[in-house]
A and B are shown apart, each in its own frame.
Chain A
Amino acid sequence: MKAVVLGGTAGMGRAVARRLAERGDEVFLMGRDAGDLARSAADLEARKAKDARVGYAVCDLEKPEGFAAALDEADRALGGFDTVVVTAGMFATQEALEADIELTRRVLTVNYTNTVVFCEHARKRLLERGGGQLTVFSSVAGDRGRKPVALYGSSKAGLSHYLESLDHKFHAKGLSVLCVKPGFVKTGMTAGLKPPPFAGEPDAVAKHVVRAMVARKPLLYTPAIWALVMLVIRWLPRFVMRRIGF
């Protein structure tokens, strides 16, 4: 694969980029900070047994005006890419969001509007070349309106909805879209939160995700147990949801 990874410097994106590089795929990194990108690119280069440069470009989900240029650069560096992975996103706790409307606006814009805009750019390029693979990290938080993630979850609900439609619309044209719904994973993003019983590790999640990408699956709950958990949650009646703190 020739893969662009937006958000590949940290957390689950870092783990996915490493897994791809160690498999022998070509990787191009995108993220907010040039210094951080350079260090992560060096990490991927040192992990590959073969001598290979790993390119990168600054691309910030808060600055949609830069999306096209960053993707053009990836295109040049990779000689055309066939895979795009988006793990970048913004998280904030419900309390923090309720206390700060500006923060709410940013989280909703980054996680929904701007991610969709980025995916539209990527999707067009992939389809021009006859298809490819688009993998985007949404969240189990988008499956059901829930008290502890009311605002964050709504942005991920919109994103999941968009990704499902993309899959329906373009699957026959050769574009496979994978919507990843991680449950709790121990990364820097979730560092302040108390891990629930089946918290996952980024490496295990990355392994799972790459397998689903290769198998061209449209939807992945990871760690796998969350498929079961969310199945139950989705069917809980409203009066129960109102009462419980989940």
Chain B
Amino acid sequence: MAEAILSGWGRLALPGVELLGEDLESLSRGTTLSRGMGRSYGDSSLPARGTDRVVSTRLANRLLAFDAQTGVVRAEAGLSLVELNRLFVPRGFFTPVTPGTKFVTLGGMVASDVHGKNHHREGCFGAHVRSLLMRLADDSIVTCSPTELPDLFYATIGGMGLLGHILEVEFTLHRIPSPWIFMESERVRDIDEFLAALGRAAPRWPMTMGWIDCLQRGRSMGRGILMAGRWAEPHEAPKEPPRAAPELTFPVELPNWALNPTTASLFNMAYYWRHTQQRVETIVAPEPFFYPLDAILHWNRAYGPRGFTQYQCVLPRAAGSAAVREFMELLTRLGGASPLCVIKDCGPEGEGLLSFPLEGTSIAVDMAISPDIQRIVDQLNEFVIAAGGRIYLTKDLFTRPEHFRAMEPRLDRFLAAREKWDPQRRLRSAQSVRLFGDRA
């Protein structure tokens, strides 16, 4: 059952053995890690060493129960968000939290404790999980929840698969008034104005996020477009449900040089000025609103064979807008910027022991992998540590263990949970080898 090469979304490829099958319960026995659709950018879904057997959950995708009264759904961990949305949006239900791609599994959403545009209202996905069925390192199968084995539960949420294989997930879907989104988008001139606009939007809108042009320097640094939205009421929405967009596939791998500073700033300029009015209100379909990048499958090929990484950090509110401005300046100075730079206002920290968000501002930027990348990430991390922030593990590929320790006060509690549930560290990933010193 071998598949020679496994890779994450950033295209880092490592040798590995992936087990694929419908029966997670038997597949997961004696294996070291589970993975879903491999949409984590870095090395968190990759095996610690090439001979380790990792479980692919993709075929374990059954819905086990759904209660239309309460919205509670129970499903196998490999069920994807694509399927969930396809089945439930027409019935007036939506996932309580969605990341920026629908090509993720429930297991991956729990293990990364994903956040979405509504983080300031709804927190992370884990906040909506009622219980998990898991296979642990000692091969036993247990149920955990906020009340049953809570220490295991909170270490699993955001725990990057290191506490056990998630077999089933039970969580609550939200009711939606229509299958359409009411969106307001606004052009914003610079970074200070951006943070102010995000702050104004948060109490008024359940969903907000911004795209910023991080190649601009000087006065227009951090200009961009703020998008805010809510589900449209039936009387505002078109009678017909949104039509499925055609699926496009990024046809070829571009050469490494195709995405360079010049093409990137041309792209950004076009994107910014396409938004011709200061403020626009529209009714849009959920797909382009939540998943703009999913419209083109395999868009990661745009970065060429060198691959790319995403740097995502959150800077706490207390550090103020000055910290965000300085971060952006550092980023441009280091040459780490690219067309994709997303800014998000985060609400309070959740209960998952290694969950990413923190009350403050999250910045995510794609960066092509270059010989300088380690140095760039190191310098950004040093800035983030000084500001009291942290990085998002599911995107990470280059953070050093000492940096991670410095930014993560909860780390000892997480390691204690691992010590209790997996003293031999049988469950591990390429990432846990890098960050926690697990044996390769």
Contacts and interface: CB of A to CB of B under 8 A. Distances in A.
Nearest to A14: B22
Interface string A182-203: 0000111001101000000000
A42 B62 contact: yes
A43 B20 contact: no
Interface in A1-54: 9-11, 14, 36, 39-40, 42-43, 46-47, 49
A235 B20 CA distance: 35
Contacts of A191: 1, 19-21
Interface SS of chain B:
mixed
B66 interface: yes
A10 to B, nearest CB: 4
A10 B87 contact: no
B59 A187 contact: yes
A46 B65 contact: yes
A9, A14, A36, A46 pick with most chain B CB within 10 angstroms? A46
B91 interface: yes
B150 to A, nearest CB: 27
Contacts of A47: 63, 87
Contact of B22 (A11, A42, A49, A194): A11
Given A188-B22, A191-B1, A192-B1, A49 B62 contact: no
Given A11-B22, A188-B20, A191-B20, A43 B63 contact: yes
B191 to A, nearest CB: 44
Contacts of B254: none
A46 B22 contact: no
Interface residues of B, number: 18
A21 to B, nearest CB: 11
B20 A42 contact: no
B90 interface: yes
B292 to A, nearest CB: 24
A42 B65 contact: yes
A40 B59 contact: no
B2 interface: yes
Contact size class for A? 10 to 19
A49 B92 CA distance: 11
A188 B59 CA distance: 7
Contacts of A186: 20
A240 B3 CA distance: 30
Given A14-B22, A192-B1, A42 B87 contact: no
B197 interface: no
Interface string B80-95: 0000000100110000
Nearest to B168: A39
Contact of A40 (B1, B62, B87, B91): B62
Contacts of A46: 63-66, 73, 87
A187 B21 CA distance: 7
B1 A42 contact: no
Contacts of B19: 191
B62 A188 contact: no
B306 to A, nearest CB: 26
A187 B91 CA distance: 29
A39 B62 contact: yes
Contacts of B22: 9-11, 14, 188
Contacts of A10: 22, 59
Interface of A: 9-11, 14, 36, 39-40, 42-43, 46-47, 49, 186-188, 191-192, 194
Which 3 A-B residue pairs are closest in the complex by CB-CB distance?
A: A192-B1, A43-B62, A46-B63
22 contacts: A9-B22, A10-B59, A14-B22, A39-B64, A40-B62, A42-B65, A43-B64, A46-B63, A46-B64, A46-B65, A46-B73, A47-B63, A47-B87, A49-B90, A187-B59, A188-B21, A188-B22, A188-B23, A188-B59, A191-B19, A191-B20, A194-B3
